[in-house]
Chains A and B, each alone.
Chain A
């Protein structure tokens, strides 16, 4: 019940904010902020390629243990490679501001009801994660409404925007690792 109330507040906040920004332009891929965001993601991907090259390649296998092992080893390698990675390294303050703006655009009145319904149907999760955490295996992954994804900057394969509680996180699905977080993106 508590979760539902929080979810309701989140949705109300999103919808309310959306009215204030009606008419704003959607994502501009040429903007310096987005270019910087994409560059940071590309650097991450490059780092992951290097880390993965040191591991036995993961191919389709009948061994779940091999899949789990690869996921865990990759996560360990990435934590080591990123050293003191912290919140805001990818979602820099300007990028965060831009993402928040784009989220508000996605929730303009025309789209808000269906996005709201989608969020409700997605089995919302209440979870507070930190950069470098693994996404806990026993917690479902809330689906991200397509309208939000259409409005946000595109990500490289295997990196996803996910919603955890009120936060928007970047998840490396292959390493099952949280790369960055916008706290209270939905509050």
Chain B
């Protein structure tokens, strides 16, 4: 039986940290020992001031949460992938995290040059799609720009062969979305959702829409859209019974923590406000 509930105030642990010259931050995740902790960003690579401000907020939370890696939901670099672009839109904004040993795992968006797969700091292993493991979780980075039969075969075998307790897929184009600008990719959904359902995928992360949305679970799978870590399309969410939580008035990022059979998430705005949080239990 799957359950979903918000982190209760009693259980929330408030960690305050005064950084040199920085405001206090509150991280409400359980921060359990030996848990898997990571951040999520999407549609971030603008090189503009808001991207840097989100990155600064991530740094503050990293000081408390100590997340090990960051999952990137595509549109990592807008407008070209020259050395200058990569510096301004990735290396500079996330310098403190990179210097602190945080690893970034990218998936490709429609604004990305497919050759970004050779860019070592994106940890793609020269591949458009790949997987990696952390603790009891396995992450599957997909190329939703080009879901050809070869990738479908790989995904089928990779999911079937995975023994991880948590199977988490991330890619660019959302299967469900209440964004007005793009909406869901229904053809992609028809192809890959049955694979997710048949193989115990519990969490799916996507970007593309420049906003944040948590959908109500579909057949036991939790879908998140996070495409506002650099870009923003204000007031672009339509009212929907399918939406559990939406946020479309500022940029943001997510933090996640997997502790045994529980996954905790916290969505944070550019200003450091927690706009959504909760817990997902493994089925």
Contacts and interface: CB of A to CB of B under 8 A. Distances in A.
Interface of A: 58-65, 67-68, 71, 111, 113-115, 117-118, 120-123, 137-138, 140-147, 149-150, 154-155, 157, 160, 173-174, 176
A65 B115 CA distance: 12
Contacts of A120: 182-183
Contacts of A141: 110-111, 114, 145
Contacts of B114: 141, 173-174
A147 B115 CA distance: 24
A106 to B, nearest CB: 10
B173 A121 contact: yes
B144 interface: yes
A155 B146 CA distance: 12
A176 B116 CA distance: 12
Given A64-B81, A137-B79, A154-B149, A71 B115 contact: yes
Interface in B167-198: 173, 182-192
B183 A123 contact: no
Contacts of A62: 119-121
A60 B119 contact: yes
Tier of interface size on chain B: 35 or more
Contacts of B115: 67, 71, 173-174, 176
Contacts of B126: 59-60
Contacts of B59: none
A121 B186 CA distance: 9
Interface stretch (B7-15, B82-90, B231-239, B249-257): B82-90
B125 interface: yes
A141 B110 CA distance: 5
Interface of B: 79-83, 85-87, 110-111, 113-116, 118-121, 124-126, 144-150, 152, 173, 182-192, 208
A154 B237 CA distance: 38
A128 B191 CA distance: 30
Contact of B113 (A121, A154, A157, A176): A176
B52 to A, nearest CB: 19
A143 B79 CA distance: 17
Given A68-B83, A137-B79, A149 B146 contact: yes
B187 A61 contact: no
A103 B147 CA distance: 16
Contacts, number: 119
Nearest to A120: B183
Given A117-B186, A118-B188, A143 B146 contact: yes
- Among B125, B152, B185, B191, find the residue whose CB has the most chain A CB atoms closer than 10 A: B185
Contacts of A59: 118, 126
Contacts of A65: 82-83
Contact of B185 (A68, A122, A150, A157): A122
B105 to A, nearest CB: 13
A66 B121 CA distance: 14
Given A63-B83, A68-B81, A149-B146, A143 B119 contact: no
B119 A142 contact: no
B122 to A, nearest CB: 9
Given A61-B120, A117-B185, A154-B148, 5 more contacts: A120-B182, A121-B185, A140-B110, A143-B144, A176-B115
A144 B146 contact: yes
Nearest to B184: A121
Nearest to B79: A138
Contact of A143 (B110, B149, B192): B110
Given A137-B79, A138-B79, A61 B145 contact: no
19 contacts: A60-B125, A64-B82, A64-B83, A64-B85, A65-B82, A67-B116, A68-B83, A114-B186, A120-B183, A121-B185, A123-B182, A138-B80, A143-B144, A145-B187, A146-B191, A147-B187, A149-B147, A174-B114, A174-B115
Given A118-B188, A145-B187, A137 B81 contact: yes
Contact of A140 (B87, B111, B118): B111
Nearest to A143: B145
A121 B141 CA distance: 20
A141 B183 CA distance: 17
Contact of A122 (B110, B124, B189): B110
B45 to A, nearest CB: 12
